[in-house]
Amino acid sequence: MSAPELLLRAHTISRRWGGLIAVDRVSLDLQRGTVHAVIGTNGAGKSTLINLLSGEIAPSSGRVELLGQDVTSWSQPRRARAGLGRSYQRNTIYPSFTVFENCRLAAQARRPRAWAWWQDASKCEASTATAQACVERAGLTDLRQLLAGLLSHGQKRQLEIAMCLATEPDVLLLDEPLAGMGAEETERMLTLLAELKASHATLLVEHDMDAVFRIADCITVMVNGAVIASGTPDFVRNNAQVRVAYLGEH
Protein backbone atom coordinates (compact mmCIF):
# COMPACT_ATOMS: atom_id res chain seq x y z
CA MET A 1 0.00 0.00 0.00
CA SER A 2 1.28 3.50 -0.81
CA ALA A 3 1.97 5.98 1.99
CA PRO A 4 -1.01 8.11 3.04
CA GLU A 5 -1.12 11.39 1.15
CA LEU A 6 -2.16 14.22 3.43
CA LEU A 7 -4.05 16.80 1.34
CA LEU A 8 -5.79 19.05 3.85
CA ARG A 9 -5.06 19.78 7.48
CA ALA A 10 -6.94 21.95 9.95
CA HIS A 11 -4.83 22.95 12.91
CA THR A 12 -6.82 24.11 15.98
CA ILE A 13 -9.21 26.28 13.96
CA SER A 14 -11.89 28.27 15.77
CA ARG A 15 -14.68 30.57 14.67
CA ARG A 16 -16.68 32.90 16.86
CA TRP A 17 -19.96 34.55 16.00
CA GLY A 18 -20.16 37.29 18.64
CA GLY A 19 -20.24 35.44 21.95
CA LEU A 20 -20.85 32.03 20.35
CA ILE A 21 -17.97 29.68 19.55
CA ALA A 22 -19.32 27.84 16.50
CA VAL A 23 -16.06 25.94 15.90
CA ASP A 24 -13.79 25.43 18.86
CA ARG A 25 -10.13 24.49 18.25
CA VAL A 26 -10.82 21.73 15.73
CA SER A 27 -7.90 19.81 14.23
CA LEU A 28 -8.47 17.39 11.39
CA ASP A 29 -6.56 15.61 8.62
CA LEU A 30 -7.90 14.61 5.21
CA GLN A 31 -5.97 11.99 3.26
CA ARG A 32 -6.39 10.90 -0.32
CA GLY A 33 -8.22 7.61 -0.61
CA THR A 34 -10.26 8.11 2.54
CA VAL A 35 -13.66 9.41 3.60
CA HIS A 36 -13.54 11.39 6.82
CA ALA A 37 -17.05 11.92 8.18
CA VAL A 38 -17.96 14.76 10.54
CA ILE A 39 -21.11 14.16 12.56
CA GLY A 40 -22.91 16.09 15.28
CA THR A 41 -26.33 17.42 16.24
CA ASN A 42 -27.89 20.48 14.57
CA GLY A 43 -25.82 23.57 15.24
CA ALA A 44 -22.73 21.58 16.27
CA GLY A 45 -20.61 23.62 13.84
CA LYS A 46 -20.22 21.19 10.91
CA SER A 47 -21.15 23.59 8.10
CA THR A 48 -19.10 26.34 9.71
CA LEU A 49 -16.14 23.95 9.74
CA ILE A 50 -16.59 23.28 6.01
CA ASN A 51 -16.82 27.03 5.36
CA LEU A 52 -13.57 27.55 7.25
CA LEU A 53 -11.82 24.81 5.26
CA SER A 54 -13.14 26.03 1.90
CA GLY A 55 -12.23 29.64 2.65
CA GLU A 56 -15.76 31.01 2.61
CA ILE A 57 -15.19 32.46 6.05
CA ALA A 58 -11.98 33.21 7.94
CA PRO A 59 -11.11 31.51 11.21
CA SER A 60 -10.87 33.57 14.39
CA SER A 61 -7.72 31.55 15.11
CA GLY A 62 -5.90 28.48 13.84
CA ARG A 63 -4.44 27.40 10.52
CA VAL A 64 -5.54 25.55 7.38
CA GLU A 65 -2.95 23.76 5.22
CA LEU A 66 -3.54 22.49 1.69
CA LEU A 67 -0.85 20.17 0.30
CA GLY A 68 1.51 21.34 3.01
CA GLN A 69 1.00 25.03 2.24
CA ASP A 70 -0.55 27.49 4.70
CA VAL A 71 -3.72 28.68 2.92
CA THR A 72 -5.42 30.31 5.92
CA SER A 73 -5.40 33.74 4.30
CA TRP A 74 -6.39 32.45 0.83
CA SER A 75 -9.81 33.30 -0.61
CA GLN A 76 -12.30 30.58 -1.51
CA PRO A 77 -11.68 30.92 -5.31
CA ARG A 78 -7.93 30.66 -4.80
CA ARG A 79 -8.35 27.53 -2.68
CA ALA A 80 -10.73 26.10 -5.28
CA ARG A 81 -8.12 26.62 -8.01
CA ALA A 82 -5.59 24.82 -5.80
CA GLY A 83 -7.81 21.73 -5.59
CA LEU A 84 -10.45 22.29 -2.92
CA GLY A 85 -13.96 21.41 -4.06
CA ARG A 86 -17.18 21.70 -2.08
CA SER A 87 -20.90 21.10 -2.22
CA TYR A 88 -23.46 22.98 -0.19
CA GLN A 89 -26.15 21.96 2.31
CA ARG A 90 -28.71 23.62 0.01
CA ASN A 91 -28.84 23.26 -3.77
CA THR A 92 -26.73 25.77 -5.66
CA ILE A 93 -27.50 24.79 -9.25
CA TYR A 94 -28.73 27.11 -12.02
CA PRO A 95 -32.27 25.79 -12.69
CA SER A 96 -32.73 27.39 -16.12
CA PHE A 97 -29.52 25.88 -17.53
CA THR A 98 -29.20 22.27 -18.61
CA VAL A 99 -27.36 19.65 -16.58
CA PHE A 100 -24.45 19.84 -19.02
CA GLU A 101 -24.36 23.66 -19.01
CA ASN A 102 -24.26 23.70 -15.20
CA CYS A 103 -21.20 21.46 -15.30
CA ARG A 104 -19.54 23.50 -18.02
CA LEU A 105 -20.01 26.71 -16.02
CA ALA A 106 -18.38 25.00 -13.04
CA ALA A 107 -15.52 23.76 -15.24
CA GLN A 108 -14.97 27.24 -16.67
CA ALA A 109 -14.65 28.68 -13.18
CA ARG A 110 -11.46 26.64 -12.75
CA ARG A 111 -9.93 27.78 -16.05
CA PRO A 112 -7.58 30.80 -16.10
CA ARG A 113 -9.68 32.59 -18.73
CA ALA A 114 -12.96 32.32 -16.84
CA TRP A 115 -13.26 36.11 -17.15
CA ALA A 116 -13.36 35.94 -20.97
CA TRP A 117 -17.15 35.81 -20.93
CA TRP A 118 -17.51 37.17 -24.47
CA GLN A 119 -15.96 34.04 -25.97
CA ASP A 120 -18.36 31.41 -27.31
CA ALA A 121 -18.47 28.91 -24.49
CA SER A 122 -18.69 25.94 -26.85
CA LYS A 123 -15.24 26.89 -28.20
CA CYS A 124 -13.74 26.30 -24.81
CA GLU A 125 -13.02 22.66 -25.57
CA ALA A 126 -11.24 21.77 -22.38
CA SER A 127 -14.20 22.90 -20.26
CA THR A 128 -16.60 21.05 -22.53
CA ALA A 129 -14.62 17.82 -22.22
CA THR A 130 -14.33 18.17 -18.46
CA ALA A 131 -18.04 18.88 -18.13
CA GLN A 132 -18.92 15.87 -20.24
CA ALA A 133 -16.67 13.59 -18.17
CA CYS A 134 -18.22 14.84 -14.92
CA VAL A 135 -21.77 14.41 -16.18
CA GLU A 136 -20.90 10.79 -17.00
CA ARG A 137 -19.05 10.17 -13.75
CA ALA A 138 -22.05 11.38 -11.75
CA GLY A 139 -24.38 9.08 -13.70
CA LEU A 140 -26.29 11.91 -15.39
CA THR A 141 -25.53 11.16 -19.05
CA ASP A 142 -29.16 10.46 -19.97
CA LEU A 143 -30.22 13.74 -18.36
CA ARG A 144 -27.50 15.97 -19.76
CA GLN A 145 -29.83 18.10 -21.92
CA LEU A 146 -32.53 18.46 -19.27
CA LEU A 147 -33.02 21.81 -17.52
CA ALA A 148 -31.53 21.38 -14.06
CA GLY A 149 -34.65 22.81 -12.44
CA LEU A 150 -36.61 19.79 -13.67
CA LEU A 151 -34.40 17.23 -11.92
CA SER A 152 -35.59 15.29 -8.87
CA HIS A 153 -34.09 16.24 -5.52
CA GLY A 154 -31.65 13.33 -5.62
CA GLN A 155 -30.59 14.11 -9.18
CA LYS A 156 -29.95 17.74 -8.17
CA ARG A 157 -27.60 16.54 -5.44
CA GLN A 158 -25.85 14.33 -8.00
CA LEU A 159 -25.52 17.35 -10.26
CA GLU A 160 -23.95 19.30 -7.40
CA ILE A 161 -21.31 16.59 -7.05
CA ALA A 162 -20.77 16.66 -10.83
CA MET A 163 -20.31 20.46 -10.66
CA CYS A 164 -17.88 20.05 -7.81
CA LEU A 165 -15.93 17.45 -9.85
CA ALA A 166 -15.88 19.83 -12.82
CA THR A 167 -13.56 22.09 -10.83
CA GLU A 168 -11.12 19.13 -10.81
CA PRO A 169 -10.60 19.03 -7.05
CA ASP A 170 -8.36 16.76 -5.00
CA VAL A 171 -10.38 17.43 -1.86
CA LEU A 172 -14.17 17.07 -1.68
CA LEU A 173 -15.98 18.89 1.12
CA LEU A 174 -19.55 17.58 1.05
CA ASP A 175 -22.25 19.09 3.25
CA GLU A 176 -25.11 16.62 3.70
CA PRO A 177 -25.19 15.18 0.17
CA LEU A 178 -27.80 12.61 1.27
CA ALA A 179 -30.24 15.04 2.90
CA GLY A 180 -33.84 14.50 1.79
CA MET A 181 -33.04 11.50 -0.39
CA GLY A 182 -35.05 8.32 -0.76
CA ALA A 183 -33.48 4.88 -0.35
CA GLU A 184 -32.70 4.40 -4.01
CA GLU A 185 -31.18 7.86 -4.44
CA THR A 186 -29.11 7.32 -1.29
CA GLU A 187 -27.69 4.08 -2.68
CA ARG A 188 -26.83 5.78 -5.96
CA MET A 189 -25.04 8.60 -4.16
CA LEU A 190 -23.15 6.21 -1.87
CA THR A 191 -21.97 4.24 -4.90
CA LEU A 192 -20.74 7.48 -6.48
CA LEU A 193 -18.94 8.56 -3.28
CA ALA A 194 -17.34 5.12 -3.02
CA GLU A 195 -16.12 5.44 -6.64
CA LEU A 196 -14.66 8.89 -5.95
CA LYS A 197 -12.97 7.81 -2.75
CA ALA A 198 -9.71 6.39 -4.16
CA SER A 199 -8.78 9.50 -6.13
CA HIS A 200 -9.87 12.16 -3.61
CA ALA A 201 -9.73 13.12 0.04
CA THR A 202 -13.37 13.41 1.10
CA LEU A 203 -14.86 15.20 4.07
CA LEU A 204 -18.46 14.10 4.50
CA VAL A 205 -20.87 15.96 6.79
CA GLU A 206 -23.92 13.77 7.14
CA HIS A 207 -26.83 12.98 9.46
CA ASP A 208 -27.57 9.55 7.94
CA MET A 209 -25.68 7.37 10.42
CA ASP A 210 -26.14 4.12 8.48
CA ALA A 211 -24.47 5.75 5.50
CA VAL A 212 -21.71 7.31 7.61
CA PHE A 213 -20.79 4.05 9.31
CA ARG A 214 -20.83 2.25 5.95
CA ILE A 215 -18.60 4.59 4.00
CA ALA A 216 -16.36 6.45 6.44
CA ASP A 217 -12.80 5.40 7.27
CA CYS A 218 -12.60 7.96 10.05
CA ILE A 219 -15.34 9.76 11.99
CA THR A 220 -15.05 13.00 13.95
CA VAL A 221 -17.85 13.86 16.37
CA MET A 222 -18.59 17.49 17.18
CA VAL A 223 -20.61 18.85 20.08
CA ASN A 224 -21.03 22.61 20.58
CA GLY A 225 -18.23 23.36 18.13
CA ALA A 226 -15.66 21.07 19.74
CA VAL A 227 -14.46 17.58 18.82
CA ILE A 228 -15.40 15.04 21.49
CA ALA A 229 -14.08 11.97 19.65
CA SER A 230 -12.29 11.12 16.43
CA GLY A 231 -11.20 7.75 15.10
CA THR A 232 -12.32 4.64 13.26
CA PRO A 233 -16.03 3.85 13.01
CA ASP A 234 -15.56 1.09 15.63
CA PHE A 235 -13.80 3.44 18.01
CA VAL A 236 -16.54 6.06 17.67
CA ARG A 237 -19.38 3.54 17.91
CA ASN A 238 -18.01 2.22 21.19
CA ASN A 239 -17.01 5.56 22.68
CA ALA A 240 -19.01 6.18 25.87
CA GLN A 241 -18.95 10.00 25.53
CA VAL A 242 -20.28 9.78 21.97
CA ARG A 243 -23.03 7.38 22.93
CA VAL A 244 -24.26 9.76 25.64
CA ALA A 245 -23.76 13.07 23.83
CA TYR A 246 -24.80 12.16 20.34
CA LEU A 247 -26.31 8.74 19.95
CA GLY A 248 -28.73 9.54 22.79
CA GLU A 249 -27.83 6.84 25.31
CA HIS A 250 -27.78 7.32 29.07
- 40 binding partner (options Mg ion, ligand ATP, none; Cβ < 5 to 8 Å by kind): ligand ATP
Strands 61-66 vs 69-70: parallel, antiparallel or unpaired: antiparallel
Under rule CB under 6 A, residue 40 binds ligand ATP: yes
Under rule CB under 6 A, residue 45 binds ligand ATP: yes
Shortest CB 142 distance to ligand ATP, Å: 32
- 27 binding partner (options ligand ATP, Mg ion, none; Cβ < 5 to 8 Å by kind): none
Among the residue ranges 44-52, 69-77, 117-125, 183-191, the one whose residues contact ligand ATP (CB under 6 A): 44-52
| Cα–Cα dist 169/83, whole Å | 4
Q: In the stretch 65-104, what mask flags binding to ligand ATP with x, by CB under 6 A?
A: ------------------------x---------------
Please pick, from the candidates 2, 3, 19, 42, the single residue that binds ligand ATP as defined by CB under 6 A: 42
Please pick, from the candidates 48, 108, 220, 239, the single residue that binds ligand ATP as defined by CB under 6 A: 48
- The closest alpha carbon to 220, from 73, 53, 71, belongs to 53
Please pick, from the candidates 47, 102, 130, 220, the single residue that binds ligand ATP as defined by CB under 6 A: 47
Among the residue ranges 36-44, 101-109, 131-139, 147-155, the one whose residues contact ligand ATP (CB under 6 A): 36-44
- The closest alpha carbon to 46, from 195, 176, 233, 137, belongs to 176
- Nearer to Mg ion by Cβ, of 170 and 206: the residue is 206
Phi/psi region, residue 40 (left: phi>0; alpha: psi -120 to 50; beta: rest), is left
- Nearer to ligand ATP by Cβ, of 42 and 96: the residue is 42
- Nearer to Mg ion by Cβ, of 41 and 89: the residue is 89
Under rule CB under 6 A, residue 177 binds ligand ATP: no
- 22 binding partner (options Mg ion, ligand ATP, none; Cβ < 5 to 8 Å by kind): ligand ATP
| Cα–Cα dist 86/47, whole Å | 11
Sign of CA dihedral 64, 228, 231, 88: negative
Interacting residues toward ligand ATP by CB under 6 A: 17, 20, 22, 40, 42-48, 89
